[in-house]
Chains A and B, each alone.
Chain A
Amino acid sequence: MYGVVSAAAAGGRSRGVGGNPVRLLVEGGVAALISDVPLEEFGETSLYRNLNDPVWLEVTARAHERVVADALAGGAVVPFRLGTLYHADEHVRAFLAQRQDALVRLLNRLEGAVELGVKAWFDRALYGAPEAPAAVHSGRDYLVRRRREAELARAADRFRGECAAASHELLAAAAQASTVNPPQPRELTGRPEQMILNGAYLVDRGDDALAAAVRALESRYGSRGVSYELTGPWPPYNFVEGGV
């Protein structure tokens, strides 16, 4: 099960995990986006193994994401976490019937909205390199230089935190709702700069206020080594917590 959409939504045309067609299972005012998966692959034991297989995980995660993203084109969608599995359509139907009201409320709240991601990256080298190392003539010169370097490092740390907070504040003001996720480490991003902000913002589809805020931030902080990256539109994964 990938997510829930309004029963009136047109969708469910895409292919899901394993290339199987995605179906819409309608119950009352809502419909579940589902597709069949083989039990040999998604049974409890094999699922455990597969989740820990990087290739399987990537392929499956991307397939799951694509189905939800495709559904978003046809209207509001409540995204479900990867690995929501039922043995029979009837069980899905029972779930939909039971949570009907909450799902409808959530769909109404998310109607017309998309999630955008904004990351801020900090390049320490551009923030202000220690001045060209003056020749060290004495122990005193050395100590002075070390102290300057330490001060600069502290200032950079302070700036990083302040910039991330100020950036999020400005971005949040341009969004209906917002949330901050932990910055991803370099192992994950593969970038030399440090991620200092990993925010998600719920905005009206087509509203470019957030993009404008990003441009404003880029010109405000760009000269101090900060760059921004806008991703999306995403389904509102970050804005359904506690919703059903």
Chain B
Amino acid sequence: MSSYGSLPSVHGGASPAQSGGPAQLADVLERVLDKGIVIVGDIRINLLDIELLTVKLRLLVASADKARELGIDWWSNDPFLSRGGGEQLESRLKRLEEATGIDGDGDERR
């Protein structure tokens, strides 16, 4: 026998959230973001965005290097998803402006 605790039993009728504490967030996200019926309503959730999240979930599955406590902030370092993306874009723009000699922010340039 393994040294692990006893096997959790099935709780008939109870939702996962009710059987022995809340369901793991990863289990919930896996289901509500990646499974279930997908239809396009009036507001396009910009399917690309949710696909990106889903891709991140899949990516997570493939790579397991960085230790993260909960794993819900996995996109914090992703330039596509984090707010840092804006800054990155800005600095790239600035570099481009400099390269082409366009004065982006009013500095004196020759």
CA distance A54 to B46 in the complex (A): 18
Candidates A79, A85, A232; contact of B37 at CB < 8 Å: A79
How many pairs of residues, A versus B, come closer than 8 Å at their CB atoms?
A: 201
Establish whether residues A219 and B10, one from each chain, have CB atoms under 8 Å apart when the complex forms: no
Establish whether residues B49 and A48, one from each chain, have CB atoms under 8 Å apart when the complex forms: yes
CA distance A116 to B58 in the complex (A): 21
Q: Which of B64-72, B90-98, B102-110 contacts A (4 or more CB under 8 A)?
A: B64-72
B89 adjacent to chain A (CB < 8 Å): no
Question: A184-210 vs B: 1/0 string, CB under 8 Å?
Answer: 111111100000000000000110101
Candidates A4, A82, A186, A210; contact of B33 at CB < 8 Å: A82
Instruction: Give, as a whole number of angstroms, the nearest-CB distance from B40 to chain A.
Output: 8
Establish whether residues A117 and B27, one from each chain, have CB atoms under 8 Å apart when the complex forms: yes
Establish whether residues B36 and A61, one from each chain, have CB atoms under 8 Å apart when the complex forms: no
Instruction: Give, as a whole number of angstroms, the nearest-CB distance from A217 to chain B.
Output: 10
Establish whether residues B41 and A85, one from each chain, have CB atoms under 8 Å apart when the complex forms: yes
Please report whether the interface of chain B is mostly helix, strand, loop or mixed according to DSSP: loop
Question: B74-94 vs A: 1/0 string, CB under 8 Å?
Answer: 110000011000000000000
Instruction: Give, as a whole number of angstroms, the nearest-CB distance from A1 to chain B.
Output: 7
Name the B residues within 8 Å of A87 (CB-CB).
Answer: 42-43
Name the B residues within 8 Å of A244 (CB-CB).
Answer: 37, 39
Name the A residues within 8 Å of B41 (CB-CB).
Answer: 1, 84-86, 91, 95
Name the A residues within 8 Å of B99 (CB-CB).
Answer: none
Instruction: Give, as a whole number of angstroms, the nearest-CB distance from A129 to chain B.
Output: 13
CA distance A241 to B12 in the complex (A): 25
Of the four ranges (under 10, 10 to 19, 20 to 34, 35 or more), the interface on chain B belongs to: 35 or more
Candidates B2, B16, B81, B82; contact of A126 at CB < 8 Å: B2
CA distance A110 to B22 in the complex (A): 25
Candidates B4, B71, B82; contact of A187 at CB < 8 Å: B71
CA distance A110 to B35 in the complex (A): 15
Name the B residues within 8 Å of A112 (CB-CB).
Answer: none
Size of the chain A interface, CB-CB below 8 angstroms? 77
Candidates A65, A95, A185; contact of B28 at CB < 8 Å: A65
Establish whether residues A186 and B67, one from each chain, have CB atoms under 8 Å apart when the complex forms: yes
Task: List which A190-244 residues lie within 8 A (CB) of chain B.
Answer: 190, 205-206, 208, 210-211, 214-215, 218-219, 222-223, 225-235, 237-238, 240-241, 243-244
* Central interface residue in B3, B37, B53, B67, by most chain A CB within 10 Å: B37
Residue of A nearest to B69 (CB): A190
Establish whether residues A187 and B66, one from each chain, have CB atoms under 8 Å apart when the complex forms: yes
B residues in contact (CB < 8 Å) with A:
1-4, 7-17, 19, 22-39, 41-46, 49-50, 53, 58, 60-64, 66-75, 81-82
Q: List 13 A-B contacts (CB under 8 A).
A: A3-B36, A61-B25, A62-B25, A81-B33, A81-B36, A211-B7, A225-B2, A227-B2, A231-B23, A231-B27, A232-B16, A233-B16, A237-B35
Interface contacts beyond A81-B50, A87-B43, A222-B2: sample of 5 additional A-B pairs, CB < 8 Å, sorted by A: A61-B25, A79-B31, A82-B33, A87-B42, A219-B1
A residues in contact (CB < 8 Å) with B:
1, 3-4, 42-44, 47-48, 51-52, 54, 57-58, 61-62, 64-66, 69-70, 72-73, 78-88, 91, 95, 116-117, 123, 126, 181-190, 205-206, 208, 210-211, 214-215, 218-219, 222-223, 225-235, 237-238, 240-241, 243-244
